[in-house]
């Protein structure tokens, strides 16, 4: 590895960036967003034929980038604004917990390395016309530019980068593949359990911690309970209940997405207290059903979401709309007291389910298969909230339930 003495630094011929040398082909550095945007050419420019026609440096960069990166389209383009807003909120102090990962950059030619004056480390030289491309983190590069275009002071923020240099384009292409395809994307449950910024997730965690029924019995990492799992429900199911408690019917469409600004103007502390005041005794009432969860529907996300929509009617206004009737905890107890939560019952030697067509269906083998939140959520709410409806009478066994 060739590191030249400081006396040979060609001052005025480029920017000298302090760095830490990892090995002969890798170094780590800190760059301002402004320096990053200068060194890593705007990716959308490299996909614009008119811009490339007029700029030879960008044409060369485009030839390298197209071999080691994917185009800025569809999901990648959509995510730029989301990521950029996340960065702005972090810089403004609106997010207590936030960070960005180290970006991975690449240069085919070896970088010029120099000892800094007074032996204060090592730096690499970027001359006019030099460029770097992302092998990983290009969406972050675009997001920093998005944030900078809205708040110019972002240009002075420092970001961490790792630069691979003096390696072939074939190597960089392989690294792009490895970084993007060999990593295991966390499932929805893990993502939810790790997200401290989402209000619904925070409230679900608090509910778990405060409830003697649920404490240490919520599965944090799996998408589905096993028959022998010691947990009573998944964090996804619990969060679905909290989301519909907060948003009512509109929460059915949210899925694992953050609540975001849908509760703008709501007194969060008042809502938190209302959720705990209703859900804690409700969970205690339903504890016997949770304890035999393999035989009941109670732990299913669609049932928890339905219960959440019912609990929504006990919330203060807002988030409960003034047109939505206000219920008390006793109203909920009354509506739920006669509900049969059994997955299946055996009648005349055949398996039937009070929940067939409401929360799922009977399979050819006679088992009851739970359906999805979006498909069955409204039907579950009707069954729970309206005891005299057909669905309400069915789950209370007040009308004949036939074998499917």
Write out pLDDT tens, residues 120-146.
899 999 999 899 999 999 999 999 999
Predicted local distance difference test score (pLDDT) of residue 170: 92
Look up residue 270 and give its two tokens: 């008042």
Look-up of token digits 């039937």? 352
Q: Other CB atoms closer than 10 Å to residue 150's CB: what's the count?
A: 10
Question: Residue 374, Cα to own-chain centre: how many angstroms?
Answer: 19
Indicate yes or no: pTM above 0.85.
no
The string of pLDDT tens digits covering residues 164-222 is 999 999 999 998 888 877 776 776 666 766 777 788 999 999 999 999 999 999 988 77
∠ CA 94-96-98, rounded to 5°: 95
Query: Which 8-state DSSP code applies to residue 44?
Result: T
Predicted local distance difference test score (pLDDT) of residue 188: 67
Look up residue 182 and give its two tokens: 């060999």
Predicted local distance difference test score (pLDDT) of residue 193: 63
Predicted local distance difference test score (pLDDT) of residue 404: 52
Distance CA 187, CA 192 (A): 9
Distance CA 241, CA 54 (A): 56
Distance CA 105, CA 132 (A): 6
Predicted local distance difference test score (pLDDT) of residue 381: 97
Cβ neighbors of 370 (< 8 A, separation 6 or more) are: 297, 300, 302, 303, 359, 360
Query: Which residues of the chain have a pLDDT value below 50?
Result: none
Question: Residue 196, Cα to own-chain centre: how many angstroms?
Answer: 11
Cβ neighbors of 302 (< 8 A, separation 6 or more) are: 359, 360, 370, 371, 372, 373, 375, 376, 377, 380
Residues 92-123 as b or e (16 or more Cβ within 10 Å = b): eeeeeeeebeebbbbbeeebbbbbeeeeeebb
């Amino acid at each position: 590895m060739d590191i030249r003495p400081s006396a040979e630094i060609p001052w005025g011929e480029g920017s000298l960036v302090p760095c830490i040398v990892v090995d002969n082909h890798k170094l780590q550095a800190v760059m301002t967003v402004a320096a990053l945007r200068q060194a890593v050419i705007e990716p959308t420019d490299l996909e614009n034929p008119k811009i490339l026609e007029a700029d030879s440096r960008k044409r060369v960069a485009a030839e390298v980038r197209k071999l080691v990166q994917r185009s800025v389209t569809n999901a990648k383009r959509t995510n730029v604004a989301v990521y950029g807003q996340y960065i702005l909120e972090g810089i403004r102090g609106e997010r207590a917990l936030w960070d960005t990962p180290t970006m991975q950059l690449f240069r085919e030619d070896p970088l010029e390395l120099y000892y800094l004056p007074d032996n204060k480390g090592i730096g690499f030289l970027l001359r006019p016309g030099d460029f770097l491309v992302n092998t990983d983190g290009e969406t972050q590069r675009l997001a920093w530019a998005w944030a900078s275009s809205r708040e110019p002071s972002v240009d002075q923020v420092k970001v961490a980068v790792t630069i691979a240099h003096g390696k072939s384009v074939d190597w960089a292409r392989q690294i792009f593949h490895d970084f993007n395809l060999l990593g295991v994307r966390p499932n929805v449950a893990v993502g939810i359990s790790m997200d401290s910024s989402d209000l619904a997730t925070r409230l679900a965690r608090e509910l778990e911690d405060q409830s003697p029924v649920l404490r240490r019995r919520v599965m944090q990492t799996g998408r589905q309970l096993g028959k022998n799992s010691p947990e009573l429900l998944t964090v996804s199911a619990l969060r679905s209940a909290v989301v519909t408690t907060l948003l009512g019917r509109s929460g059915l469409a949210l899925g694992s997405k953050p609540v975001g600004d849908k509760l703008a103007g709501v007194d969060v502390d008042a809502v938190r207290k209302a959720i705990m005041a209703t859900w804690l005794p409700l969970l205690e009432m339903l504890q016997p059903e949770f304890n035999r969860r393999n035989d009941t529907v109670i732990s299913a996300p669609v049932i928890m979401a339905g219960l959440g929509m019912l609990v929504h009617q006990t919330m203060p206004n807002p988030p409960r709309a003034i047109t939505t009737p206000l219920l008390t905890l006793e109203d909920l107890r009354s509506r739920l007291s006669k509900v049969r939560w059994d997955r299946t019952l055996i009648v005349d030697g055949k398996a039937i389910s009070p929940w067939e067509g409401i929360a799922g269906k009977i399979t050819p083998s006679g088992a009851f298969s739970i359906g999805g939140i979006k498909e069955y959520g409204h039907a579950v709410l009707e069954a729970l909230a309206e005891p005299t409806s057909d669905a309400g009478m069915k789950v209370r066994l007040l009308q004949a339930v036939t074998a499917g």
